[in-house]
Structure 1
Amino acid sequence: MIELEEAVNRLVSSVKIETKTEKLDILSAYGRICAEDVTAPFPVPHFPKSGMDGYAVRSQDTKGASKETPIHFQVVGEICAGDYLSIQAKPCTAVRVMTGAVVPEGYDCVIRQEDTDYGQEQAGIYVEGRPWQNYCRIGEDIQAGTCIIPRQARLGAGHIGVLASLGIREIAVLNEPKVGIISTGNELVPLTSPLGKVGVYPSSAYAIAAQLKALGVQVSFLEICSDDAQRFSSMLEERISQADVIITTGALSVGKKDFLPEALETMGAERLFHGVNMRPGTPVMANRYKEKLILSLSGYPFAAMVNFRLFFWPVLAKLVGDDSLSWKKTRCMVAEGNTNVAKRRRFVQAFSDETGVHILDKNHHSSVLSEMLRSNCIIDQKQGTVISPGDMVDIIYWKQDW
């Protein structure tokens, strides 16, 4: 067996960054990886505008104004947002402007209406104005020609809003990675069929597929395969061209039905590793076949999710050039709960909040998936150690949308 970090390095080294791109409308591009540097074609705002409802004036004309000694200005017009009025600025004149309205050339200040007498033809100003007060200059938000979104950025709501503010309707994004899932086991039953006396639904496959979709990954297929090496080989040959990565679950260990390692070896797959010094999910395996990565996870639901979090996410980070997807450890104190001595490096599900890390008190069997509904992280417990309240531990978070 090899260590986790070495296994991850082998995986990451075996994949290349996706370079194929497509153009999408900006709403469809939400959550995707930007494929190019996007520059602003014009400044935002592209005209000087008022920051609030009030009066546009020349700041120099307001010197000495106060509530006791107001200065009166002739109101020469009114402009609302979306209107345009050609006005020549003159001393001691004012233009009534609403928030977002253009400020005519020559006026360098907006006095908020609360600091005036709300005059219609003559307005009394009660305060001294400063140059550019309540005044949004051209390009104050975005300067023309600046890079507003760098290549490799994952597009969020803020990016989409900025693109819309610049009238950009389409953007180039990296193609979505495609992942296929094959769950093995004679006991597995499609969701469309009754379980029978000994059947099991493929919960791991659906949990993995849901996370893939949340990560912006296209699930190209989700198949069930019986414990039959020939059938698996045929299914893989048929489906491999439809995905960039194949994820399998089950048939990995040393049981009578654990056919997968031998089947892939017979097909001529290049073995990257088989077996990692960790629990759960010790027999995790990776191969390359026809230039595609095949990541084989434990058949136990919780073990499969630990394998998926620790091994697939760094692969995805490399594929799309988004390092934020790679897992990172956070140091926290244990608030409650204990563990037994770890005979091997162990990943324990827990819940972390502002009070610390809480070790879940039910059970930690690899076959139990429902306990993950209460957890938001896993503890990286070192071999030969125990964990007790007050101990500092390393945790790795599940994704927030788990």
Structure 2
Amino acid sequence: MMGVEFLEIIDLDDARRITGELFSELYSQGTESVDILDADGRVLADDIESPVDLPPFDRASRDGYAVRAADTFGADEENPATLRCIETVEAGSVPSLEVAEGLCTRISTGAPVPEGADAVVMVEYTWEEVDRVYIQRPAYPSQHIAARGSDIRAGNVLLRTGTVLSPDKIAALSAAGITRVNVISKPSVCVISTGNELIEPSGQLEPGKIFDSNSAGLSSALKEAGCSVKHGGIVRDDYGELRDAILRGLEEADMVITSGGTSAGAGDILSEVLDELGRVVIHGISIKPGKPTIVGVVDDKIVVGLPGFPVSALIVFMSLIEPFIRKLSGRKASSGHVKTLKLAERLHSSRGRVHYALVMVDGDYARPIFKDSGAVAALAGADGYIEVPKNVEIINEGEEVEVVLFENR
């Protein structure tokens, strides 16, 4: 069977506009409540106010003695102030006696400061004999005391909407006694790889076969963008099998992303399947690599057909699809991980098409990787890519370029 022809090839800007309109039309952010023990990496859907003052009481920030600062004025090593110790307060316990004139309390870091005391003298500047404590340095009011609410007051915002919950943020929530939070729901995406030549990486490599790399690569990129991933497995270039796999994916997930089966060659039948099940909105984008990319809609859900070559699949995903998925999942755009570098070698581009060129970062230079989009070594050695505008044919050595980094995106 001869393959279908491309629809009208469109510019990348038009493809981004159309794709963005589809996401806005078909999807909206959802929210859910989760236990903070399961909240790592999730995005807050609401501002979080502290239900308590932090710290919840005046507490010592050093080991030493809680004193009245006035009782220590003028103290030095030659003429130490002499106070009587009336009790010991450890972290987790509560003082029972008030510190009056001439008295002090032995206190541990984190323990509540007793009534009457307004300073803590570090143990290093004291010595003790029986119940007498000798203070060698004067204290000032509030010294080494974290006042109640000095960190945050009850009712004040602790974390803002859109915050990604990392370990430090989760610790802060726990410190305020918060155990559940509202977060933005993760979009679910089913990933399918197509091609008679593909086998699972765990399988035995045979003549004419290659390992499927797109499932793992795209799944990783989707998780980083805030999605949950469903695995649709490998599907042969068979109309019925692909149709059934897409329908299963649409039942399980909010979106389906396939790789392979998008060009206008024999055996590439994704466009025909989408025509039957729904509609093809984009088939062909003026970019290199990635021209045969397909975007369709089935049952009010987006189905994306990425090229089969790993370089093409990942770059088209990151440049065309990922920004809208990040917005849906509440994640910030990855554009912050862009580095301005000088081009290490002259680069030729195809005029009339946006060209994505893989590069290695070498100090202050971006070194182009001159391999085709099917070369696995190109991905292994790449640190990022540059987007060459469609009206640029040559970028000369030494010119500054914007490199979108793969790592820490």
With normalisation by structure 1, the TM-score equals: 0.91
Q: How many angstroms apart in 2 are the aligned matches of 1:352 and 1:23?
A: 41
Note if contact 1:40-1:142 (Cα within 8 Å) is conserved in structure 2. yes
Note if contact 2:190-2:257 (Cα within 8 Å) is conserved in structure 1. yes
1:375 maps to amino acid: A
List runs of 5+ in structure 1 lacking aligned partners. none
Shift of 1:85: 1.9
Shift of 1:336: 3.1
Q: Determine helix, strand or coil for the equivalent of 1:27.
A: helix
2:381 maps to amino acid: R
Note if contact 2:94-2:112 (Cα within 8 Å) is conserved in structure 1. yes
> Hey, what does 2:176 align to over in structure 1?
166
Q: How many angstroms apart in 1 are the aligned matches of 2:164 and 2:233?
A: 30
Is 1:359 the counterpart of 2:380? The answer is no
Q: How many angstroms apart in 2 are the aligned matches of 1:193 and 1:74?
A: 78
Note if contact 2:264-2:292 (Cα within 8 Å) is conserved in structure 1. no
Q: Determine helix, strand or coil for the equivalent of 2:348.
A: coil
Q: Alpha carbon RMSD of aligned pairs, Å?
A: 2.3
1:372 is matched with which residue: 357, 368, 379? 379
**Percent identity, aligned pairs only?**
28
Tell me: CA distance 1:222–1:299, structure 2 relative to 1, closer, same or farther (3 Å): same
> Hey, what does 2:399 align to over in structure 1?
391
> Hey, what does 2:84 align to over in structure 1?
74
With normalisation by structure 2, the TM-score equals: 0.89
> Hey, what does 1:262 align to over in structure 2?
272
Q: Determine helix, strand or coil for the equivalent of 2:198.
A: coil
Tell me: CA distance 1:95–1:202, structure 2 relative to 1, closer, same or farther (3 Å): same
Q: Determine helix, strand or coil for the equivalent of 1:15.
A: helix
Q: Determine helix, strand or coil for the equivalent of 1:141.
A: coil
Alignment of 1:10-159 (within 5 A): 10-16=18-24, 18-159=28-169
Shift of 1:242: 0.9
Tell me: CA distance 1:195–1:132, structure 2 relative to 1, closer, same or farther (3 Å): same
Q: How many angstroms apart in 2 are the aligned matches of 1:347 and 1:357?
A: 17
List runs of 5+ in structure 2 lacking aligned partners. 1-8
Q: How many angstroms apart in 2 are the aligned matches of 1:99 and 1:245?
A: 53
> Hey, what does 2:288 align to over in structure 1?
279
The C-alpha deviation readout for 1:159-179, integer Å capped at 9, x for no partner, is 210121122222232332211
Q: How many angstroms apart in 1 are the aligned matches of 2:335 and 2:292?
A: 20
Tell me: CA distance 1:69–1:374, structure 2 relative to 1, closer, same or farther (3 Å): farther
With 369-378 and 22-31 compared, the bigger mean Cα shift is at 369-378
Note if contact 1:182-1:248 (Cα within 8 Å) is conserved in structure 2. yes
Shift of 1:136: 0.5
Q: How many angstroms apart in 1 are the aligned matches of 2:339 and 2:203?
A: 45
Q: How many residues align?
A: 397
1:14 maps to amino acid: L
> Hey, what does 1:221 align to over in structure 2?
231
The C-alpha deviation readout for 1:111-164, integer Å capped at 9, x for no partner, is 111222345522222222222111011112221111212233221111210121
Q: How many angstroms apart in 1 are the aligned matches of 2:396 and 2:139?
A: 63
Q: How many angstroms apart in 2 are the aligned matches of 1:286 and 1:150?
A: 35
